[in-house]
Chains A and B, each alone.
Chain A
């Protein structure tokens, strides 16, 4: 094997000046905070924030105790995203601040005596290195050869920097590794996307259909709250999942479907609804395009046909279809969120969109509402330069319907090929651990080897930092300002995040990092401000409030501009599609050469002795972002492998036994995973929570805890429509003995 240019480095191998590791966390953990004092609100002060632990961005208050230490984070009662209640991750978000494994000071990769090492640096030095390298590569290859991968609020600042620099290759894995197919499918059908937080009217629904969506394990706050409201009001829940999820346990019907066959079930439901004439005739006549074609298309997709594919009995398919119809239009066939499964995901989500349209739930109470947001104008700046090329030039003719930058498209285009017009030379990576976010690790690592420069900005020593040339430690959301939250909801609102405390260690907020870089890179003219408070105050004043007011209230609601949460009776609507109608038959997909109506295609099944690898969320974690959080690892610190008892018996697996996994391509899990023998899963699949099995020793609480599903996802089924990475076509078998033993011994 060729010596790699970019060795994975363990942080702090060479310390200069030594960073003192204060340990306030331990003091706090041991109850050293005034244990004889009754906790109460009287002696505290509070500052507003919005949570950064997931995209829901709940607004809350950070309380400090009389010692000035962060004590607790509580939801803001006025916030429509959270209604005063944070989820466990948000409540435990303070662990991000107290985590003593945080990145503490800038680090630069240097070769000393022929050995690559990370050397501690001042901010000035580190930012100089970043600015010089990016400018050098800009001169050599053009600005477009730098890409930004980002996840989280700080990304907006880096995005501005990149645009000022001359590149629009700004990507978030939340598109192509997560919700992309859903947005593209709904856009093709309704001319509008779902976006975040999801515009589903769960609180007033009479029937909620979840397909592989495990609300309650995914703690997307408003949805969890509303699912509970719906249960209170007696709504019917139907859950389609190979696993008896928490949501399945709250459901009237659990359909333990054979994985990868969801489209067949959806087509059978559509068949039932059309051929029994159960669809909302008035709605479909008025708003939809292509019913006749659809009727023809699903003619043979009977419940009996679907039974042979899905293992769901025909009478169950009929009964559940009837349940949806009875609830119509207050029914939601939920579009889900992480939907990149089998590479035909856009088509599956099209089937979801179509079924909703037939039942008339789009634009109706208890179905899908029309969200609104209050936008804040950008701080004035000269027009950003126009890039000469984008990531799309590296994929001519492909993914034309992708509405955001495809992260894996950038990763792939970083590996030079003869016909590749946009090979990337530099990556800026902010708050996303690409090693576990992108599937096919081998490919990601190869791409990284081809980079001439990579800077990683993060709060934690995630695996990706080990490959960086420069590591910049950003402070956590509790220690910084960011742009205000302006995301959609039933009522528009703006939420402020401000620092509750000084940044710990030698860490800095993203806005500061970007402002310094802009200066060093000669981009000052695009950033006509010195302090973020200036920007925020200016923005807020444009909508009739101010930074001062927002500091007191945290969240401000605005009246809706349009009184159109739901369609009104007989309203004429011009949908933003080619036909101006809800497209059951998609003219966009047809024009791009794809099936205009969803088709079921069989997917490979596991060989004997192999099981489909499914993965999901734990309510206390947001993937690897929280895997080392002291408060949250206290709740759940290690993923386990769900195995059906029949399978366990075949393999003679005992509860808690540690096993290793090997996938269809011979890839072994680095770490063992403990077995959970449970009736709650089909015998053809296994399941684990995503985000564990970290192999960076600097993550002291999560190192070697559980296994990483990502490393076993080497078979990636790319959705030809929008570039999403289908990740559920990987199969694993069990290794009862440590397959790494020999290597360890030698």
Chain B
């Protein structure tokens, strides 16, 4: 099993619904977020392009954050989801600096926090909160080992890219382009 997510940059409107849905679902304190939106404009007026991406932890196959964690709090869970065990985390922040995607933040309760792919929902057969709420239905989630999962199907059909592939982290968040 290998969980992954694909985000369609052609459909995403950058509304941040995914951000606020994650915040409420996971009780992320105001002022912090596990996912966020990036907008990049290319070109000059009037020849313009705009790429909008909803970003989060890439649940990398080769995660520097897991490797550098001194306590084992950061670890791989079912389906390759990268998680932090809150009571094992000493809040040293090594993982925060090791992540090329800036996907982690120090939770005010003293541990590090990040996207969990909403594993508590996924285990119950639901989709991650961001995927479920998105008004443009631009996010696809599922098991890459299952050819019939939403994410497998869309990756087969569409061109995609990952972010900073040169970092060698083998990210599992795909952007449809």
Q: Cβ of B15 and Cβ of A40 under 8 Å apart?
A: no
Is A743 positioned at the interface, with any CB of B under 8 Å from its CB?
no
Is A216 positioned at the interface, with any CB of B under 8 Å from its CB?
yes
Which B residue sits closest to A215, measured CB to CB?
A: B13
Partner of A33, one of B27, B43, B132: B27
Is A378 positioned at the interface, with any CB of B under 8 Å from its CB?
no
Q: Cβ of A85 and Cβ of B11 under 8 Å apart?
A: no
Known A91-B20, A224-B13; 14 more pairs at CB < 8 Å: A36-B86, A85-B137, A88-B20, A217-B13, A219-B15, A229-B137, A231-B11, A246-B50, A249-B49, A249-B50, A630-B30, A632-B20, A634-B31, A680-B48
| CB-defined A-B contacts under 8 Å, sample of 25 | A30-B108, A31-B27, A31-B108, A35-B27, A38-B120, A39-B25, A39-B120, A40-B124, A73-B24, A87-B135, A88-B17, A217-B13, A219-B15, A219-B17, A225-B137, A228-B137, A231-B10, A244-B41, A246-B13, A249-B48, A620-B20, A631-B20, A631-B23, A644-B45, A683-B45
Is B81 positioned at the interface, with any CB of A under 8 Å from its CB?
no
Q: Tell me the bound Cα distance from A72 to B138 in angstroms.
A: 21
Which B residue sits closest to A620, measured CB to CB?
A: B16
Partner of B41, one of A38, A73, A680: A680
Q: Cβ of A228 and Cβ of B11 under 8 Å apart?
A: yes
- CB contacts (< 8 Å) of B50 on chain A: these are 244, 246, 249, 680
Q: What 6 pairs across the A-B complex have the smallest Cβ distances?
A: A216-B13, A249-B50, A619-B15, A228-B136, A88-B17, A72-B24
- CB contacts (< 8 Å) of B86 on chain A: these are 35-36
User: Beyond A228-B138, A244-B50, A632-B20, is A40–B120 a contact (Cβ under 8 Å)?
Assistant: yes
Q: Cβ of B45 and Cβ of A256 under 8 Å apart?
A: yes
User: Beyond A36-B86, A254-B48, A256-B46, is A634–B23 a contact (Cβ under 8 Å)?
Assistant: yes
Is B21 positioned at the interface, with any CB of A under 8 Å from its CB?
yes
Which A residue sits closest to B118, measured CB to CB?
A: A39
Is A520 positioned at the interface, with any CB of B under 8 Å from its CB?
no
Partner of A91, one of B30, B43, B133: B133
Q: Tell me the bound Cα distance from A75 to B41 in angstroms.
A: 32
Which B residue sits closest to A311, measured CB to CB?
A: B46
Q: B56 → chain A, closest Cβ, in Å? A: 15
Q: Cβ of A87 and Cβ of B17 under 8 Å apart?
A: yes
- CB contacts (< 8 Å) of B41 on chain A: these are 244, 678-680
Is A94 positioned at the interface, with any CB of B under 8 Å from its CB?
yes
Is A71 positioned at the interface, with any CB of B under 8 Å from its CB?
yes
Q: A632 → chain B, closest Cβ, in Å? A: 7
Is A635 positioned at the interface, with any CB of B under 8 Å from its CB?
yes
Q: Cβ of B24 and Cβ of A71 under 8 Å apart?
A: yes
Within 8 A of A (CB), among B28-75: 28-31, 33, 41, 43-46, 48-50, 52
Q: Cβ of B16 and Cβ of A619 under 8 Å apart?
A: yes
Q: Tell me the bound Cα distance from A632 to B15 in angstroms.
A: 11
Is B166 positioned at the interface, with any CB of A under 8 Å from its CB?
no
Q: Tell me the bound Cα distance from A33 to B109 in angstroms.
A: 12
- CB contacts (< 8 Å) of B137 on chain A: these are 85, 225, 228-229
Q: Tell me the bound Cα distance from A227 to B27 in angstroms.
A: 31
Q: Tell me the bound Cα distance from A87 to B133 in angstroms.
A: 8
